[in-house]
Amino acid sequence: MFDLIGYVASFAVTLGILVAFHEFGHFWVARRCGVKVLTYSVGFGKPIWSRVAKDGTQYQVGIIPLGGYVRMLDERVDDVPPEQKSVSFNAQSVYKRFAIVAAGPLANFVLAVVVLWLMFGIGVPTVKPIIGGVQPGSIAAQADLQRGSEIIEVGRVDAYDWQQVQLGLMSAIGNDQVTITVKSSSGQLQQKQLDVSDWQFDPEKQSTFESLGIKVYQPDVYTELAEVMDDSPASQAGLKTGDKINAANGEPIDSWQQLTEQIRQSPGKLLELSVERNGQAQQISVIPGERESASGVIGYLGVVPKTEPLPEGYVFNHQYGIVGGFIKGTQQTWNLMVVSVQMIGKLLTGDVSVKNLAGPLSIAEGAGVSAGNGFVYFLSFLALLSVNLGIINLLPLPVLDGGHLAFFTLEWVRGKPVSEKVQDVCYRVGAALVFALMVIAISNDIMRYAF
């Protein structure tokens, strides 16, 4: 219940920020071009808050938080007195109208740069994309990727963390090959060619790199004890730091995960452990303590296992100064724009299935999860959505900004506007296409969460 409330709140905040900036782009340029703005609205439907400023513009927040609009004085829909015709939208030159409409998507790109600039200024806690293993027979195995190698670059994307690896691989969907630059454990740079012509990727079940057979590095955890907590069941039974547990109730123990599972399933029950201490085998009886968890009562010993040392610099804070953060934010925004355009192109060619389209439920979950993970992760998600909103609005569909820009471009080339009749037909077709995409996205959400 609390997760649902958090997701809804995060969704409302995220969409509100994106829409407010997008519409502000239209609003700000319209005012600079001398156009009278009647309404600046974040959200549709009945206003839950509104205020009329001294200049006559009504600022409002609509009850339906799924978009927004800027309504400008326009002779095509308003009765405009002669003295105000010069401040109506339709009376402006094609260049001014183009600038006003283009300013919405541009504002989203500017927002992404600013958000990522802030994110890189704060610093992003992350881990290096070091390969933890390769699934036998996988695409990664065929390319001879090795455990312990660090992924440096995927295609042309700088892969400083796993999110960047994902971004680079997403842009390679539909290609025959993708080049991955790795640094071996000895420090040698190598380029690996992955044959992705038959790559099968289901984003609902796994990440891009997992579908290629690449496992995220996890340090090996041994059955040797690095620490025994004071007054714990393990301490009371006589277990000590350095003990290596080889068996439990006569069952050989090959991994720490196997031992943990047996302990969890034995709350309050006697376990006979075969322990190696200083090269000598010993039998130690222990009764795991009892602890409440989401799945019920589980057992615990109160010990910490010995783990493989982490590679140098494996965990780091990805942070830049003021200038460096701005440059990095701009570069990252450009990378997101390129990948977004590529993905739209691959949707049109069929290289990417329409099942990958996300609706409001998926966006709400993404907003909630990112906000729950921390402020910098929310900023990253916000930048991604802002870029996508800007790119989508530039599509040449008449009901979107891109459709208006297409008409203005034709007007500039022809020297006269496209007829109202042609525009009306195009708007109807565009609205039908956008509605169809919305139905597909919402249907995908329903299939993801209801089944």
Contact by Cβ (8 Å): 105, 394: yes
Instruction: Residue 338: count other Cβ atoms within 10 Å of its Cβ.
Output: 16
**CA angle (129 as vertex; 128, 130 as ends), nearest 5:** 95
Written as six digits, the tokens of 291 are: 């602890």
- How far apart CA 40 and CA 35 sit, in angstroms, is 13
What does residue 353 show for φ and ψ, rounded to 5 degrees? -75, 150
- How far apart CA 42 and CA 317 sit, in angstroms, is 36
Nearest to 154 by CA among 164, 146, 144: 164
> Any catalytic annotation for residue 23?
yes
Who's near 342: CB < 8 A, 6+ residues apart? 171
Where is 392: in which H helix or E strand? Answer: helix 375-393
Who's near 378: CB < 8 A, 6+ residues apart? 10, 14, 367, 370, 371
Contact by Cβ (8 Å): 402, 396: yes
Contact by Cβ (8 Å): 315, 125: yes
Written as six digits, the tokens of 200 are: 């099968």
Segments in 221-359 forming alpha helices (H): 233-237, 256-264, 322-349
- How far apart CA 284 and CA 56 sit, in angstroms, is 83
Dihedral in degrees, nearest 10, Cα atoms 372, 326, 401, 173: -70
Who's near 334: CB < 8 A, 6+ residues apart? none
Instruction: Residue 238: count other Cβ atoms within 10 Å of its Cβ.
Output: 14
- How far apart CA 448 and CA 440 sit, in angstroms, is 12
Task: Give the active site residues.
Answer: 23
